Structure 1
Amino acid sequence: MAGNVATVIQPGERTPAPEPLTLVQDLVNTVDLEMEQDTLTKPADLSAFCADHGLSGLRFDRTGLAEVLTLREAVRDVCQAHAGIDVPAESLTVLDRLLAAAPLTLALSADGGATVRPADGLTGVQALVSRLAADIATSVAVGNWPRLKACAADTCRWVYYDRSPAGRSRWCTMSLCGSRNKMRKYRARA
């Protein structure tokens, strides 16, 4: 990914989410809200991002890019729900609409295993949304989906993977967002 236009911005000190949550985390973190830096400003940026994540050959127009950016923020809202903040109704509506148009199939293996995967023949936004849905479904099955969280700081909302033993982390980094929050609370008391 290094050197590519669609390289994901990586502030903080957290390690990346495990597979299959890497694509979800990387997509949401293509924008740094605090620094106002977005790596997905053109359809070609999104195509390059997808290619970097094993989805080569996907092409997007401006409408498709706008759909994915809307999806990105709706998924961020879901990740923030993992830290105790309800998902806005508008975000649920967006997700319902996009997920309904991105079918999945169940693939069974010779050893009896089962995996969810995107349906064949999907292109553009449908292919990306379907892959995200399959990755999320797999993560739900293994129990790590709730650990993908958005930072509780309104100015940050960076998506990180909570590796803490209790799974109750609220900040992308304690040294930045957590410390700022503690300082605000301290000043409010003083």
Structure 2
Amino acid sequence: MREMIWLDLVNTDWHDYRGSGRHEDRLLRPGMLEQLLEHWGIEGMEQATDETIAGLQRLRALIQLVIHPLLEKRLPEQDELAALNVYLEQAPTRLLVSRDEQLIQLQQLPCRRDWSWVYGEIAASFAHTLAERDPFRIKQCENPDCLWTYYDESSTASRRWCEGPCANIMRVRRYRARHHPTPP
């Protein structure tokens, strides 16, 4: 499973970076959840119900809530982390030791593979990022029309935009504001 699968979930809350004002919850797109599961390497899940999608939306909203203080260089409150722990409790695992021809391996396996486990895996991915990486490198694109969330892995932690297109749009907007000011 991918290391920061929580980012994929958060970014299903899509905003048109070009400034049209369009907004879409991509979790509601047909086939999107199946696409995410395939991308995350999760197989054999039962068909998602409206309740499943609502659960993912609630988890996404919680992660966005926890991210908000990080964007202001503050740590989240304990009650927000406690809410994240509720999701972590939904993904109990067990250890299994096995061997192949030359190695002994220790695997961590889920006690059950259901949607609660998926929620817990997403929450665990986010918790690992908070605890094992620099949480203040979690950022939102500075393009006010975009709001894409990303993890800044640049050496100076100074990245301001999610990707090149947003950076270009913002440069053009700044240029136009300087050279073609709008009349009062």
TM-superposed deviation, 1:61: 1.0
**Distance of aligned partners of 1:131 and 1:64 in 2 relative to their CA distance in 1, 3 Å threshold:** same
Cα deviations by residue, 1:42-99 (Å, 9 ceiling, x for unpaired): 585324422331112223210110121122233234334332176898x938944752
Q: Which residue identity does 1:36 align to in structure 2?
A: H
Partner in structure 1 of residue 119 of structure 2: 129
Query: Is 1:162 aligned to 2:143, yes or no?
Result: no
Q: Does 1:32 align with 2:40?
A: no
TM-score (norm. length: structure 1): 0.61
The separation in 2 between residues aligned to 1:88 and 1:152, in whole angstroms, is 21
CA distance 1:120–1:182, shift in 2 (3 Å): farther
CA contact (8 A) 1:147 1:163 kept: yes
Aligned positions of 1:1-190 closer than 5 A:
19-21=2-4, 23-34=5-16, 35-41=22-28, 45-59=32-46, 60-84=48-72, 92=80, 95-96=83-84, 98-99=86-87, 101-105=89-93, 119-124=110-115, 126-140=116-130, 142-172=132-162, 173-177=166-170, 180=173
Distance verdict in 2 for CA 1:87–1:143, change over 3 Å: closer
Runs of at least 5 residues in structure 2 that lack an aligned partner in the other structure:
17-21
Report if the CA contact (8 A) 1:104-1:134 is conserved: no
Cα RMSD for the two superposed structures? 4.3
- Distance 1:25-1:184 versus aligned 2 partners, 3 A rule: farther
Partner of 1:12: none
Structure 1 residues 100 and 138: CA distance shift in structure 2, 3 A: closer
Deviation digits for residues 119-155 of structure 1 (CA, Å, limit 9, x no counterpart): 421411x122211233234434542544232224554
Instruction: Note closer, same or farther for the CA distance 1:114–1:37 as it changes in structure 2 (3 Å cut).
Output: same
Inter-CA distance 167–43: structure 2 relative to 1 (3 Å threshold): same
Counterpart amino acid of residue 114 in structure 2: T
Q: In structure 2, what is the Cα distance between the partners aligned to 1:88 and 1:145?
A: 10
How many residues align structurally? Answer: 166
Alpha-carbon distance, 1:20 to partner: 0.8
